[in-house]
Amino acid sequence: MTGTVFRVLLIVALPMGCFLRAFDYKYWEYVIDTYPELISKIKEAQLHDEAMESAALPPPLELVEDFPHGDVRLGQVSGVAVDQSGDIYVFHRADRPWAQDTFNGNVFNNPKQGPIQSNVILKLNKKTGEVTESFGSGKFYLPHGLTVDNDGNIWTTDVALHQVLKFEKGSQTPSLTLGEALVPGSDTSHFCKPTDVAVASNGEFFVADGYCNGRVLKYSATGTLLGQWGTRSTSNVATSDDDFNIPHSLTLVEGRDMICVADREHSRVQCFNAGLTDNNSTGEFMRSFHGGALGKMFAISYDPHGDVIYAVSGPNQSMRKAAGLTLDMAGTGVILEKWENFDEQPHDIAVSPDGIDLYVGLLSPPRLLEKFHRDVEDPMVG
Reduced to 3 states (helix: H, G, I; strand: E, B; else coil), residue 5 is helix
Confidence at residue 55, expressed as pLDDT on a 0 to 100 scale: 47
Reduced to 3 states (helix: H, G, I; strand: E, B; else coil), residue 254 is helix
Please, what is the angle between helix 25-34 and helix 36-54, to 10°? 100
CB-count burial class (<10 Å; 0-12, 13-18, 19+) for 270: buried
Confidence at residue 305, expressed as pLDDT on a 0 to 100 scale: 93
As a whole number of angstroms, the distance between CA 188 and CA 172 comes to 26
The neighbouring-strand residues paired with 232 are 244
| Whole-number CA gyration radius for the chain | 23
The count of residues in the chain is: 382
Confidence at residue 16, expressed as pLDDT on a 0 to 100 scale: 42
Reduced to 3 states (helix: H, G, I; strand: E, B; else coil), residue 316 is coil
Closest CA to 147 of 162, 164, 130, 132: 164
CB 140 within 8 A of CB 191: no
In one-letter notation, the amino acid at residue 177 is: T
**pLDDT tens for the 382 residues of the chain, in order:** 444 443 444 344 434 444 444 445 555 565 556 555 655 555 555 544 444 444 455 789 999 998 998 789 999 999 999 999 999 999 999 999 999 999 999 999 999 999 999 999 999 999 999 999 999 999 999 999 999 999 999 999 999 999 999 999 999 999 999 999 999 999 999 999 999 999 999 999 999 999 999 999 999 999 999 999 999 998 989 999 999 999 999 999 999 999 999 999 999 999 999 999 999 999 999 999 998 789 999 999 999 999 999 999 998 877 779 999 999 998 777 899 999 999 999 999 999 999 999 999 999 988 899 999 998 764 444 3
As a whole number of angstroms, the distance between CA 106 and CA 160 comes to 8
CB 157 within 8 A of CB 145: yes
**DSSP 8-class letter at 210:** -
As a whole number of angstroms, the distance between CA 382 and CA 375 comes to 13
Reduced to 3 states (helix: H, G, I; strand: E, B; else coil), residue 272 is strand
Confidence at residue 317, expressed as pLDDT on a 0 to 100 scale: 76
Number of separate helices (H) and strands (E) present in the chain: 3, 28
As a whole number of angstroms, the distance between CA 287 and CA 327 comes to 13
Q: Which long-range contacts (C-beta less than 8 Å, at least 24 apart) are formed by 62-65?
A: 62/372, 62/373, 62/374, 62/375, 63/340, 63/370, 63/371, 63/372, 64/370, 64/371, 64/372, 64/373
Compute the C-alpha angle 196/188/225, nearest 5°: 70
Closest CA to 377 of 349, 356, 363: 356
CA distance to 64, 175, 306, 334, per residue, from 5 (Å): 42, 58, 29, 18
Task: Cite the DSSP H helix spans in 220-324.
Answer: none
CB 162 within 8 A of CB 140: no
Confidence at residue 316, expressed as pLDDT on a 0 to 100 scale: 81
Confidence at residue 39, expressed as pLDDT on a 0 to 100 scale: 54
CATH of the structural domain 62-373, one choice from 2.120.10.30, 3.40.50.2300, 3.40.50.300, 3.10.20.30: 2.120.10.30
Question: Which strands make up the sheet holding 296-303, listed edge to edge?
Answer: 296-303, 308-314, 322-328, 335-342
In one-letter notation, the amino acid at residue 145 is: G
Instruction: State the CB neighbour count (10 A cutoff) for residue 245.
Output: 21
Every domain of the chain and the residues it spans: 3-54, 62-373
